[in-house]
Structure 1
């Protein structure tokens, strides 16, 4: 049974990693939004991820951006996450928070 769990991912490790609180590596302001880079460690590399926030009508709205891109270092993933988040903000603006 243990073999099958390992083979098909039944260990629960991915669930634990996905539900864990993201580690913020850098924060930047852009066009009234706050971008928090949160690279996700994965298989010896780092997945591009960021949290985009903005206060609207007295409430802080947030959007979690996770991309397929993987980088060899946390610094590279941080730098590109900030750049990609700025691009998303410039393209979508407040619409990023709509369901």
Structure 2
């Protein structure tokens, strides 16, 4: 009953807070997608560009059996995307798009 009203356990809260990270002025969100007993690598990269939050989402084919493993891999993949694309990641005028 407490979960219905926002009273989740401390373990759930700790896992939720581990899903975001700041890197190179970007906010990375790990948003794994549950597929059966596994989790698909998925996330987003957000950045404030001239007062507008721009979001770049990504989904990859990688599947993991552990939620913590997919979160760790998502954060690493986001770092790689930011490093490879550099400033061009947010250079267009699109508020949201896939990368």
The one of 52, 57, 62 aligned to 1:64: 57
Q: Which has the higher contact order (CA 8 A, sep 6+)?
A: 2
Between the aligned partners of 1:24 and 1:94, the Cα distance in structure 2 is: 27
TM-score w.r.t. structure 2 length?
0.71
What is the TM-score when the length of structure 1 is the normalising length? 0.71
Does 1:73 find its partner at 2:61? no
Q: Tell me how far apart the structure 2 counterparts of residues 72 and 29 of structure 1 sit (CA, whole Å).
A: 25
* Distance of aligned partners of 1:61 and 1:28 in 2 relative to their CA distance in 1, 3 Å threshold: same
Alignment partner of 1:92: what SS?
A: helix
Unpaired segments ≥5 residues, structure 1: 1-22
The higher radius of gyration belongs to 1
CA RMSD of aligned residues (A): 1.8
The corresponding residue for 1:41 is 34
> What is the count of residue pairs matched by the alignment?
77
Question: After TM superposition, what 4+ stretches of structure 1 lie above 3 angstroms from structure 2?
Answer: none
